Each structure stands twice: as structure tokens, then as C-alpha cells.
Amino acid sequence: MMLSDRVVHKWLIHKAGSLKRLVLVSEQLPEPAKDDVQVEIKAVGLNFADIFACLGLYSATPAGAFTPGLEFSGTVSALGESSQESPHGFRVGDPVMGMTRFGGFATHITINHHYLLPLQDGWTFEQGAAFPVQGLTAWYGLIELGHLSKNQVVLVQSAAGGVGLQAMDIIKKQGATAIAVIGSPDKAAILRERTGIDPSHILVRRKTFKTDLQQALKLLFRDGLDIVFDAVYGKFFKPAYEAMNPAGRYVLYGAADLMSEGNRPNYLSLIPRYLMRPRLDPMAMITENRSLMAFNLIWLWEDIPLMHRVLKDFISSKPAPPHIGRQFDFSDAPAALRFFQKGRSTGKIVLTINS
Ligand SMILES: NC(=O)c1ccc[n+]([C@@H]2O[C@H](COP(=O)([O-])OP(=O)(O)OC[C@H]3O[C@@H](n4cnc5c(N)ncnc54)[C@H](OP(=O)(O)O)[C@@H]3O)[C@@H](O)[C@H]2O)c1
């Protein structure tokens, strides 16, 4: 069969604004361009950015129609004429994992070889699809921006989530201590099982967060936090910021508190939360000698040498295979996004494609 006769099935949203607008479409598979690799996707990793983008709440969303999906794994199915000369020397049939600025919710992807890396030995496709974005988020935030080092104390919000579990692994390997925050007590069991964390270092996010945090620090014989790794923001931001030591680094990488429930954004609930969002005074930050750092990994995709250097450092640290919390069939992508949106998940949610 000619390559161009082959078909790609993908989830498409013609105009952001509602999860209900996601439709499954079929198109001709394009020929890979010179530096491209074509991948037959086996698993797709879900990210909040997919939900934010579908709801029209994400500034990095492509204009017009788009296919969600930032990370995937699969096997190389075709190569552009120059892509074999890539540092990895990909061949047809190679198992790979990769990241993309949307387009991952598909049975095939045609992508520049820079955005692919070999699937780690012994990992499943699901684990591969769970790794690039969430793993790199944890590594970039903690190591590149947080300058995490031995004996430090780090507060990790959503510690039982996909990014959170990767962060917990990195913190442990660096010889630092985590205080792990979860949204509901039922997540403590998986957190303990995966990380071996002492129960006194687990906090449930609730009204008494400020005093719970002070108590956890006291049990560790510490005055304050060295790093906060947070994608929740909202009313838990200030208590954590104020619990930082001088020279503390607050690494903020999301605002899940501004996530909207349901198929469409609920602006009545979102707008007051947005307007009342916590803010810092830079002058006071100088006096307190603390910093706030924020990042969006998508910008790393634009700086390929930096992205490769960060990925190489991370992979050299021999990361543990990600924990898969739940799998959905590719055809159930909207249901998977709705489940993820509820905030009940632990580990990574993936879509699997059985061909
Ligand atoms: N800046 C970046 O480059 C970057 C990259 C990747 C991810 N992120 C951000 O990191 C956050 C999570 O990342 P992820 O998509 O990979 O998922 P994830 O790490 O698996 O996190 C999912 C968890 O987020 C927590 N959460 C907190 N508030 C929530 C809310 N209002 N609604 C639903 N869940 C809530 C829930 O755990 P608990 O209730 O236990 O806290 C949920 O299980 C998102 O905010 C995302 O935008 C940012």
C-alpha cells in the first residue's frame, strides 16, 4: 500500500469552547517531510493542558481547529529522507516516545525527529506516553529552576498526580525531603505505596493547611520550606509562600484552582476566582529574600538544544517508569478527559490504541 493511501484517525475540535465539540475524524496520512518521522501511536498521555485548550482557556492553543494531545508513544512507521541521520538514528519499527505542541490524540503523528526519543528499555507504551511532558515538567521545575539539592525540604502540591509522583521520585533521588499535599485522603495509600513516604509528611489540602504545614515542618525539625512545587495556586499559594525560608524558591507551573468543571467553562465561578487570585509585591520579595519562578514547558519545545540537554540530564538520572493510574480506549477520549477533569486521578491517565 502506498503511504499516502493510509489513513490517520484523530480527535478534532473545530472551535475551542466545549469538550462536547470533540469529534473523531479520518484523514489521509501525509508523507513525512525531510526531517520528519512518522509514528504509529500506541498510547497517548493526558494533560490538563488538553482540557484547558478544549475549553478555550489556554493561551498556547492553536488558532482554529486542532487535535489535543501533548505526549505519546508508539513505533516508527515511516521516515523522511534525512531523519535517519538524527542523533538517535531511528529505524522503522523502533519504539519511541515523544512530545508535540498538540496533535497527539491520533492514531499516527508525523513529527520532526527532535521531538522523539527512544522508549526506555523495559517500559510499556503506556509508561512511555506518560513520561515526556510530566517527567520533564517535574525535572525542569525542580532541578533547572528550583536548584534542588540534598537535605532541602520541598512542598509538592498534587503529589499523587502524574507530575507529582515524578517530582517525588526526583526529590528522593536527590536526597531531599518532600512534604506531599493531596486533594483527598484516599490518595494517601497510593502515595505511600509508590514513594514510601512517612504518613506525617502527607498533608490533605483543607482549611487548616497553614497550621498543618507548620506542624509537618516542626516534626521535621525545620523552620521553613526551601522549595514549593505547585500547580494548584489559589488560596493555598500564600500559606506555602509564607512558609518558605529566606532564599526559598517557589516554582509555580499551573493554576488547577482555575480549572472549570463540566463541558464548558463556568465563568460565573471562574471570574471571581481569577479576580481574587493571590498576588505578590516584588518589593516585599526583596526584603524577604524569596523568589517566585513560573514556567510553561511549551517554550522549551522552541529551544531544541536546551530541551535536549535537559532531557539528557533527566534520562541520565535513570527515572522510574511512571505510574499509570488509569487507561481508556482511544475511542473514549472525551470520557477520559472528563474523568481527569474531576481531579480524582492518581498517576497518569492514558489512552491506548490497539491496532
Ligand atoms: N507549566 C507547564 O509547563 C506544565 C506542564 C505540565 C503540567 N502543568 C500543570 O500541572 C497541573 C497538573 O498536571 P497534569 O495535567 O500533568 O496532571 P496531574 O499531574 O496528573 O495532576 C492531576 C491532579 O491535579 C490535582 N488538582 C488540583 N486542583 C484541581 C482541580 N481544580 N481540578 C482537578 N484537579 C485538580 C488533582 O490532585 P489533588 O486534588 O490531589 O491535588 C489531580 O489528581 C495542571 O495544572 C497543569 O496545567 C503545567
Contacts of 340 by beta carbon, 8 Å cutoff, 6+ apart: 46, 48, 51, 349
Instruction: Give the pLDDT of residue 1.
Output: 39
How far apart are the C-alpha atoms of 98 and 308, rounded to whole Å?
12
pLDDT at 262 over 80: no
For residue 112, what is its C-alpha cell? Answer: 520532526
Instruction: Give the pLDDT of residue 2.
Output: 44
Instruction: Give the pLDDT of residue 44.
Output: 98
Residue extents of the structural domains in the chain: 3-131+321-352, 134-299
φ/ψ of residue 211, rounded to 5: -75, -35
Sign of the alpha-carbon dihedral angle for 160, 161, 162, 164: negative
Sign of the alpha-carbon dihedral angle for 57, 63, 66, 71: negative
Give me the half-sphere count of Cα atoms (radius 13 Å) on the Cβ side of residue 299: 6
How far apart are the C-alpha atoms of 139 and 338, rounded to whole Å?
27
Nearest CA to ligand 1 atom 5: 137
* Average pLDDT value for the chain: 94
Quickly name the fold that domain 134-299 has.
Rossmann fold (3.40.50)
pLDDT at 166 over 60: yes
> What's the average model confidence in pLDDT over 117-136?
97
HEC letters along 62-128: CCCCECCCCEEEEEEEEECCCHHHCCCCCCCCCEEEEECCCCCCECEEEEEHHHEEECCCCCCHHHH
> What's the average model confidence in pLDDT over 184-211?
96
pLDDT at 5 over 70: no
Instruction: Give the pLDDT of residue 3.
Output: 45
The residue whose CB lies within 8 Å of the most ligand 1 atoms, and thus the one to mutate among 44, 48, 169, 235, is 48
pLDDT (tens digit, 9 = 90+) per residue, 322-336?
A: 999 999 999 999 999
Instruction: Give the pLDDT of residue 87.
Output: 80
> What's the average model confidence in pLDDT over 197-215?
96
Residues of the chain above pLDDT 70, percent: 99
Residues of the chain above pLDDT 90, percent: 86
**CA 123 – ligand 1 centroid, Å:** 24
Nearest CA to ligand 1 atom 32: 343
How far apart are the C-alpha atoms of 205 and 188, rounded to whole Å?
12
For residue 54, what is its C-alpha cell? Answer: 478544549
> What's the average model confidence in pLDDT over 313-321?
95
Nearest Cα neighbor of 247 from 231, 267, 223 is 223
Q: Which residues lie with the beta carbon below 6 Å from any ligand 1 atom?
A: 47-49, 133-134, 137, 158, 160-164, 182-183, 187, 231-232, 253-254, 256-257, 259, 295-297, 343, 345
pLDDT (tens digit, 9 = 90+) per residue, 95-104?
A: 999 999 999 9
DSSP-derived secondary structure letter, 161: B
The matching CATH number, chosen from 3.40.605.10, 3.40.640.10, 3.30.450.40, 3.90.180.10, for 3-131+321-352 is 3.90.180.10
pLDDT at 149 over 80: yes
pLDDT (tens digit, 9 = 90+) per residue, 34-84?
A: 999 999 999 999 999 999 999 988 887 888 899 999 999 999 999 998 877
Q: 4: pLDDT confidence band, cut at 50, 70 and 90?
A: very low
How far apart are the C-alpha atoms of 325 and 346, rounded to whole Å?
5
Kindly tell me the number of DSSP H helices and DSSP E strands found in the chain. Answer: 11, 15
349 CA to centre of own chain: 11
> What's the average model confidence in pLDDT over 174-187?
97
Under the phi-then-psi rule, with left for phi > 0, alpha for psi from -120 to 50, and beta for the rest, what region is 329?
Answer: beta
Residue that wins the pLDDT comparison between 84 and 222:
222
> What's the average model confidence in pLDDT over 272-297?
94
